[in-house]
Amino acid sequence: MLRFTLLSVLLLVTGPLLVAAQFGGGFFEHLFNGGEHGHQQQRQQDVGSDSAWYRQTYAQAHCSKYLCPGTLSCVDKATHCPCPFPDHEEKFELSDGSAICITKTGKPGSVSKKVELARKGLL
């Protein structure tokens, strides 16, 4: 039961990240103005579709403590890892000692309410 609940919380947290990865960035720019900012915009090449860039950057990062896989931040322990998008996410520590990042809704305390609803199977 606990495993199912933890999985539900994990899916609740990672769902918005997957959507942001799919539609984030220039989606709205391209929708509303064709992705152009006049003649001043410089065309850039997209990052490759494989994980080679990430693996190379991870391998070259020096950290004598704990290297956060999501942000490549060097911290004392895994629960100290920052959220990748702190303006839009809030870190929440679970009772098992792990931490997750949850999308903010704008209301104070809403993140803990989301987690509690998910634990009860109501979300």
Question: Rounded mean pLDDT of the chain?
Answer: 75
Decide if 116 is inside a domain: yes
pLDDT confidence of residue 34: 53
Decide if 29 is inside a domain: no
Decide if 60 is inside a domain: yes
Q: Which domain holds residue 102?
A: 83-122
Instruction: Evaluate if residue 2 carries a pLDDT over 70.
Output: no
Instruction: Evaluate if residue 47 carries a pLDDT over 90.
Output: no
DSSP state of 37: B
Decide if 5 is inside a domain: no
Q: Are residues 75 and 102 in the same domain?
A: no
pLDDT band at 40 (very low <50, low <70, confident <90, very high): low
Instruction: Evaluate if residue 22 carries a pLDDT over 60.
Output: no
pLDDT confidence of residue 49: 84
Decide if 67 is inside a domain: yes
pLDDT confidence of residue 56: 92
Q: Please tell me the distance from the alpha carbon of residue 72 to that of residue 48, in angstroms, as a whole number.
A: 19
pLDDT tens digits, one per residue of 50-102 = 899 899 999 999 999 999 999 999 999 988 999 999 998 988 888 888 888 88
The number of folded domains in the chain is: 2
Q: Are residues 102 and 88 in the same domain?
A: yes
Convert 29-63 to b/e letters by CB count within 10 Å (16 or more is b).
Answer: eeeeeeeeeeeeeeeeeeeeeeeeeeeeeeeeeee
Decide if 104 is inside a domain: yes
Decide if 95 is inside a domain: yes
Q: Are residues 69 and 91 in the same domain?
A: no
pLDDT band at 36 (very low <50, low <70, confident <90, very high): low
Decide if 90 is inside a domain: yes
Q: Are residues 90 and 73 in the same domain?
A: no
Assess contact for 37 and 26: CB atoms under 8 A.
no
